A and B are shown apart, each in its own frame.
Chain A
Amino acid sequence: MNLGRRDLVKLGGLTLAGTALSPSVLWAQTPKRGGALTLRTWDPPHWDHMETGGASYKIHIPMTFTHSRLLKHKAGPGVVPGTFPIEGDLAESWTQPNDTTYVFKLRKGVRWHAKPPVNGRELTADDVVYTVDRFLKVKGNANAYMLDSVTKVEPVDRYTVKFTLKEPFAWFLDMIANPMALAIIAKEVVEKHGDLKKPEAVIGTGPYMLDSYRPNTGITLVRNPNYFLPGLPYIDRVEMVVDEDNASRMAAFLSGKYDLGWEFPGTINRTDWVQIKDSLKQKRPNLKTAEFPANVMSHISMRTDQKPYSDARVRQAISLAIDRQAIIDQPLEGVGVFNPPVPAGLKEWSIPMNQLGEGARYYKAAPAEAKRLLAAAGYPSGFQAPICFTTYGSTLLVDVSQMVLKNLKDVGIDARLDQKEYGAYISTCFNGKFDAMAFGPQTPYLDPDNFLYGQYHAGQLKNQSHINDPVVEDMLVRQRRTFDVAKRREILFEIQKHLAKQQYYVQMPSSVYVAVWEGAVKNYGPNLGYDYGGRLLHAWLDR
């Protein structure tokens, strides 16, 4: 198969460049035990994954190595990036007796890490019940909303747990499998330490154990010899290096220090990649790469409860003003994807642009049509508008924001950036507290419900555009109650078609990630999300 990069990106799936090995070839090789893998990480502010939100990924990423969940996302070269098939982790099997009840059968013989106070005791249903209870009740858990639907969790017997929900919630299993949610913990550990903030409290049932944590410097994980899947993991040690400077990270990668790309999730930013790919060909000829669309999506939000944004024609004009292709061509280095309301990165749920119907036209730059719509809405000379903004420390975001300003100015909207410091932005504009417009990226969720329900349902904190649209709300609730995947997808596509016409948010294109990993890392497949541990569980080193 000989496809160019753009062709591969258009396909939207996993694309292997460099030495293209098919997954079957990889699986056919005999795994080797041993070795150490090095990757870049972010310094966790502490280790309690239930007591932080803003920096949760910094804790959740190492915890995907040390802790298990009831369910997890399948990983490996056979999984198409942007898809998240679910499989059991601690749960051997699960049933759904009715729309609001889930029963999980736990694996027998799962042992906690051999560390005090649990000292390798067996995991039971009580541990799961305790974890859910703490997850929902502990103060300061910014991710508690993920299990909002749960009213009761109870042990049926030593190895069976029953969840009862308030109402049908078709995404429940996805929430349980999400690495941001339910890493199972032991009650004794919380009781001993008061919370889970100390590194001594990092005790799970995962494939790796925390060997050492050096603040601001790094984390060393060692293989858990008692992991419940016999023979796994293959790699003996994982070194996670805290490296806060991009130049330092780039130099480290060039000199062969890191086995995975240094940016989240094991990628290299396109701008850096363009600069160093030729050097890498010489210095690290065995590198493997894969490209897939990011689920990080920026958008313009507007006060749709106020003039002029309450008029759909104004919102459509703003969308028509944006030259998305130019954004792809310039700041995104020529490689990117258009996003409907669900980012194209979520392959199973994002409607293809050519199926958007009537609303598709608002994603193509048409300044003349934008001016016509503005005039029809009573703004022939445009209007002035502040755009609340923070840089997130990203030069790319700054570049895109400048293009947005220029595009808006070209149709008569005199927009100016109201730039805020990150903390100020999060506490105001991110929650819809702004006067006219705001611009910035959204949390990169792994499911469409989090992208849509929070942003488009009245009363939700993430409803930045202050939307109150009964049509959307009805569909949002219906998709949550629809367990048939194909039918749910149909509803989600309908929602996106409706939203494309309404343009409550004006979506920007996303970059296409360049996932990079050392060729010696076998049986590894990149994907979106925090689950580094899951993706490396079956990987082995052939150095």
Chain B
Amino acid sequence: MLRRYVAKRLLVAIPSLLIASMIVFTLPRLIPGDVVQLMLEEKAYAKDIEELRAKLGLNRPIYVQYFEWLGHVTTGNLGESLWTRRPVLEELGRRLPVTLTLGVCAIAFAILIAVPVGVISAARQDTLKDYTARSAAVLGLSVPGFWLATLVIVLPAIWWGWRPATGFTEFSQSPLYYLTQFLLPGVILGVASSAAIMRLTRGMLLEVLRQDYVRTAWAKGLAERVIVLKHSLKNAVIPVVTVLGIQIAQIIGGTVIIEQIFGFPGMGRFLFDAIVQRDYPVIQGVNLIVVSVIVIVNLTVDALYATLDPRIRL
């Protein structure tokens, strides 16, 4: 049953990816000022512009370019950067692990903090612990990640002349440092998600705790820990899992800024530079990967949802 459900969802994902490919191909080309004009900047004359456009293959009709690109994508070729002539896939292969590690750190932090705090907050509703947790969550939602990152970097430098390490160390240089360098940016990136998940966990758990079967459990004299963690939490986290899927998409978006601030050579920064430079194949490649990741995450969430609540498969 679960297999058929996943297969059905996979089929739905194909047109989603196709539509997304059209959008990621077309939208960057609609922004005024193309890559050729940016390459030549103010020093270009009409003849130079046309010659360079022809050299880069940008003088052909857009649908011809699209289908050529799509054909290459189906064979695993995402094209070459118009600026560096380096294969986009090769660049992504180097950068995707950086962004994924950062994203995993952020999600891990968000879950590790949010779920226990949400549970405590719900179990101790309207106590000092609850108020404190909720206030912290509101603060976490309100504070933009880039601002928090800026403070974390600048304030220690002003106060003590010390700055958290920025820049990037490759795994091959120092595996331990490679992992630890993601902690601070991961925490900052995960703060907003953590706050959202905490609030949702608390809300859903409160709802579940008011269900009849929970009241029965209380009446039977079960321990609070058993009631909350064993009988209530599983039902409460179903919507949380769904929201987690949305948060992952947001976190991938957030990496653009955090990678910029911490100097990580990840995919977000690659995309940012590509947009500024109108490097179409890179924009298309990165976005296609991001869309694919989000589709896969949503698929996984749907599958998890179905596992947690078998009624969904029916």
Interface residues of A (CB under 8 A from B): 43, 45-46, 51-55, 139-140, 142-145, 195, 197, 214-218, 241-245, 247-248, 250-252, 254-257, 276, 279, 283, 420-428, 430-431, 443, 461-462
Decide yes or no: A195 and B85 within 8 Å by CB, A247-B150, A255-B161 being known contacts. yes
Decide yes or no: A427 and B34 within 8 Å by CB, A195-B85, A257-B163, A422-B276 being known contacts. yes
| Distance of A145 Cα from B41 Cα, bound (Å) | 13
> How far in angstroms is the closest Cβ of chain B from A455?
10
Contact-residue bracket for chain B? 35 or more
Question: Who on chain B is nearest to A145 by CB?
Answer: B43
Q: Is the CB of B44 within 8 A of A251?
A: no
Chain B residue numbers with a CB within 8 Å of A421 are 31-33
Chain B residue numbers with a CB within 8 Å of A279 are 158
Chain B residue numbers with a CB within 8 Å of A244 are 260, 263, 269
Given A245-B262, A257-B163, A427-B33, 14 more A-B residue pairs with CB atoms under 8 Å apart are A54-B40, A54-B41, A139-B52, A140-B48, A214-B170, A243-B263, A245-B261, A247-B153, A250-B157, A255-B157, A276-B158, A421-B33, A427-B37, A461-B43
| Distance of A51 Cα from B41 Cα, bound (Å) | 12
Decide yes or no: A214 and B265 within 8 Å by CB, A46-B83, A423-B31 being known contacts. yes
| Distance of A462 Cα from B43 Cα, bound (Å) | 8
Q: Is the CB of B43 within 8 A of A143?
A: yes
Q: Is the CB of B277 within 8 A of A426?
A: no
Q: Is the CB of A245 within 8 A of B83?
A: no
| Distance of A217 Cα from B165 Cα, bound (Å) | 13
Please report which residues of chain B, range 148-199, place their CB below 8 angstroms from some CB of chain A when the two chains form the complex.
149-150, 153-154, 156-158, 161-163, 166-168, 170
Question: Who on chain B is nearest to A253 by CB?
Answer: B157
> How far in angstroms is the closest Cβ of chain A from B231?
48
Chain B residue numbers with a CB within 8 Å of A245 are 150, 153, 166, 260-263
* B299 in contact (CB, < 8 A): no
Chain B residue numbers with a CB within 8 Å of A427 are 32-34, 37-38
Give the residue of B42, B157, B269 whose beta carbon is less than 8 angstroms from that of A430. Answer: B42
Chain B residue numbers with a CB within 8 Å of A45 are 83-84, 273, 277
| Distance of A53 Cα from B157 Cα, bound (Å) | 36
> How far in angstroms is the closest Cβ of chain A from B159?
9
> How far in angstroms is the closest Cβ of chain B from A374?
31
A-contact bits for B26-66, CB 8 A (1 contact / 0 none)? 00000111100111111111001001100100000000000
Decide yes or no: A248 and B166 within 8 Å by CB, A139-B52, A255-B161, A461-B45 being known contacts. yes
| Distance of A247 Cα from B262 Cα, bound (Å) | 10
Decide yes or no: A420 and B39 within 8 Å by CB, A46-B84, A252-B166 being known contacts. no
Interface residues of B (CB under 8 A from A): 31-34, 37-45, 48, 51-52, 55, 83-86, 94, 149-150, 153-154, 156-158, 161-163, 166-168, 170, 260-265, 269-270, 273, 276-278
Chain B residue numbers with a CB within 8 Å of A52 are 39, 83
Question: Who on chain B is nearest to A51 by CB?
Answer: B39
Main secondary structure of the interface of B (DSSP, over half): helix
> How far in angstroms is the closest Cβ of chain B from A140?
5
| Distance of A52 Cα from B56 Cα, bound (Å) | 13
Chain A residue numbers with a CB within 8 Å of B41 are 53-54, 142, 426, 430
Chain B residue numbers with a CB within 8 Å of A256 are 161
| Distance of A62 Cα from B262 Cα, bound (Å) | 22
Decide yes or no: A142 and B40 within 8 Å by CB, A195-B85, A421-B31 being known contacts. yes
The contact sample of 16 A-B pairs, CB cut-off 8 A, is A140-B40, A142-B41, A215-B94, A216-B263, A241-B167, A242-B263, A243-B167, A245-B150, A247-B149, A251-B156, A252-B157, A421-B32, A423-B32, A426-B38, A427-B37, A428-B33
Q: Is the CB of B167 within 8 A of A217?
A: yes
Q: Is the CB of B161 within 8 A of A426?
A: no
Q: Is the CB of B39 within 8 A of A424?
A: no
Decide yes or no: A53 and B40 within 8 Å by CB, A214-B168, A251-B157 being known contacts. yes
| Distance of A251 Cα from B262 Cα, bound (Å) | 12
Question: Who on chain B is nearest to A241 by CB?
Answer: B167
| Distance of A514 Cα from B2 Cα, bound (Å) | 66
Chain B residue numbers with a CB within 8 Å of A46 are 83-85
| Distance of A276 Cα from B45 Cα, bound (Å) | 44
**Max count, chain B CB within 10 A of own CB: residue among A248, A255, A257, A443:** A248
Q: Is the CB of A251 within 8 A of B42?
A: no
Q: Is the CB of A247 within 8 A of B37?
A: no
Q: Is the CB of A139 within 8 A of B55?
A: yes
Q: Is the CB of A248 within 8 A of B153?
A: yes
Decide yes or no: A250 and B154 within 8 Å by CB, A45-B277, A257-B163 being known contacts. yes
Chain B residue numbers with a CB within 8 Å of A248 are 153, 163, 166, 261-263
